Amino acid sequence: MQAEGSGYARPFCFPAGVQQMESEFRFAMESDVAAITSLVNVAYQVEKFFKIGERTHEGEIRGLLARGRFLLFENATDLVACVYLEVRGERGYVGMLSVSPAHQRQGIAARIMAAGEEFCREMGCHFMDLSVVNLRTELPPIYAKFGYQVTGSAPFPADEMPVKLPCSFVLMSKPLMEQVSAGTDAPVGREGEAPSGMVTRR
């Protein structure tokens, strides 16, 4: 799936139950790379206790835009939140969920997650996958409230992303389709493979 070009940024239609308020969703363009990079790095300062260096860089964001999309949530003046989305067959991948520190604890993460899931559902995905670092122990309970369940683990690529502490990925998934969610577990992808949307870091 290709990213939006350098021209028109197609607005995102809000899923049912998600109020627009004074902000809007849209898909990112090439011109948004610097702003996305800055937002992600600020939002992920919380990982400094185990990670060396910044969370991402402009080259990585451009690479992700070539494979998937960044959904942006803006107010009248600022980029407030973003999330990376990638469709792979019947599975959607979500990563780099980032909310500006000044706008956290306002329900924005839940809104942009719901919008991202709706997009993947419209693209035919039956499941949504994500991964979190096991040292971020506060995250699995939060994603559990969004309907995600732990489905496995995967190694952390410390050779590519230097860390101060040993760590690994916790894999989580949720069903998107009603016919799938009824009594059916959400399988992960290939064994031992973490969802790419969350692990494609430098």
Higher-confidence position of 140 and 183: 140
Q: What percent of the chain has pLDDT over 90?
A: 71
d(CA 33, CA 59): 9
pTM score? 0.79
Q: What is the CATH number of domain 24-199?
A: 3.40.630.30
Chain segment 68-92, per-residue pLDDT in tens: 999 999 988 899 999 999 999 999 9
Give the orientation angle of helix 58-67 with respect to helix 33-43, to 10 degrees.
110
Strand order in the sheet with 79-88: 24-27, 69-74, 79-88, 91-99, 127-133, 168-175, 149-155
Q: End-to-end CA distance of the chain: give it in Å, rounded.
A: 21
Strands 91-99 and 127-133: parallel
Beta bridge partners of 94: 85
User: Residue 9: which pLDDT band, with cuts at 50, 70 and 90?
Assistant: very low
